[in-house]
């Protein structure tokens, strides 16, 4: 059983409807097992003794029109080893729900805000989560991806994972079925800082090309070779 002692933020932007998760932990490749999302559906972070099917099934529940709370109750009703799990859900309307089992290790908790949830376990302290929450709230003018990243940086600065740091990930969905942002640092001595660096590179060198991609409204895209 993989134990992702982790801190994360799961959120929806009220202005754009974007949905996303930012997460970091002291194990490699957290982006493979923890963050889940779907455009116009919801976002989920699953952690502690991680069960990826909480994210997979949870997104299915949300896609059927369930609220975050309804999806949470559905997960609780069917989940084995529930006391070892921790998860956070935000639905397409910004409703939130979260669960932290009483056998999560170290300091663990979750806090729900307006359209977002911060959650963590095996943390240095509560400040990891309270600083994430405060940082996300005060940067409401920024794009969701930047708000998530700043919240993750605040959590790491406040203490983060008690065991150390190794990987981080940022995933955001807009209106398309593919992610608007999907960046991972799978193994690094300072993963949150490295994730911020990669995000800055992507913001300058990748994201400007997104308007040329095929979309639901324009399946052919607007690819311009001379702009590369």
Tell me how far CA of residue 24 lies from CA of 16, 27, 184, 187, in angstroms: 25, 9, 10, 11
For residues 108-125, average pLDDT: 95
For the cut 70, the answer to whether the pLDDT of residue 67 exceeds it is yes
- pLDDT interval class at 56 (50, 70, 90): very high
Q: What is the predicted pLDDT for the residue at 226?
A: 56
Q: Which two tokens stand for residue 70?
A: 């309804």
- pLDDT interval class at 227 (50, 70, 90): low
- For 1-10, 30-39, 183-192, 195-204, which range has the lowest pLDDT when averaged over its residues? 1-10
Look up the CATH number of the domain holding residue 150.
Answer: 3.60.20.10
For the cut 70, the answer to whether the pLDDT of residue 130 exceeds it is yes
Q: What is the predicted pLDDT for the residue at 5?
A: 62
Burial label, 224 (beta-carbon count in 10 A; 0-12, 13-18, 19+): exposed
- pLDDT interval class at 124 (50, 70, 90): confident
CB 77 within 8 A of CB 85: no
Q: What is the predicted pLDDT for the residue at 3?
A: 53
User: pLDDT digits over 153-173, tens only?
Assistant: 999 999 877 677 899 999 999
| Residue range(s) defining the domain that contains residue 139 | 3-227
- Name the region of 143 (left: φ>0; alpha: ψ -120 to 50; beta: rest): beta
Closest among 127, 173, 94 to 7, alpha carbons compared: 127
Q: What is the predicted pLDDT for the residue at 66?
A: 98
CB 32 within 8 A of CB 183: no
Count of structural domains, the chain: 1
Closest among 18, 11, 175 to 95, alpha carbons compared: 11
User: pLDDT digits over 20-30, tens only?
Assistant: 999 999 999 99
Q: What is the predicted pLDDT for the residue at 4?
A: 57
Q: What is the predicted pLDDT for the residue at 12?
A: 98
For the cut 60, the answer to whether the pLDDT of residue 32 exceeds it is yes
Q: What is the predicted pLDDT for the residue at 53?
A: 97
Q: Taking the model in full, what pTM does it have?
A: 0.94
């Amino acid at each position: 059983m993989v134990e992702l002692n982790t801190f994360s933020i799961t959120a929806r932007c009220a202005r754009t409807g974007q949905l996303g998760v930012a997460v970091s932990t002291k194990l490699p490749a957290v982006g493979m097992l923890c963050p889940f999302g779907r455009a116009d559906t919801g976002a989920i972070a699953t952690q502690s003794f991680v069960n990826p099917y909480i994210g997979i099934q949870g997104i299915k529940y949300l896609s059927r029109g369930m609220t975050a709370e309804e999806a949470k109750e559905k997960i609780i009703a069917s989940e084995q080893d529930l006391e070892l799990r921790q998860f956070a859900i935000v639905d397409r309307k910004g409703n939130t729900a979260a669960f932290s089992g009483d056998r999560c290790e170290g300091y663990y908790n979750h806090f729900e805000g307006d359209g977002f949830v911060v959650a963590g376990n095996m943390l240095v302290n509560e400040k990891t989560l309270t600083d994430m929450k405060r940082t996300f709230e005060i940067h409401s003018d920024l794009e969701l991806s930047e708000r998530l990243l700043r919240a993750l940086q605040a959590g790491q600065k406040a203490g983060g994972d008690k065991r150390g740091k190794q990987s981080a990930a940022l995933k955001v969905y807009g209106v398309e079925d593919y992610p608007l942002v999907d960046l991972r640092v799978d193994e690094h001595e300072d993963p949150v800082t490295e994730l911020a660096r990669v995000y800055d590179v992507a913001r300058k060198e990748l994201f400007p090309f997104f308007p040329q991609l095929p979309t639901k409204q324009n399946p052919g895209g607007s690819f311009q070779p001379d702009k590369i």
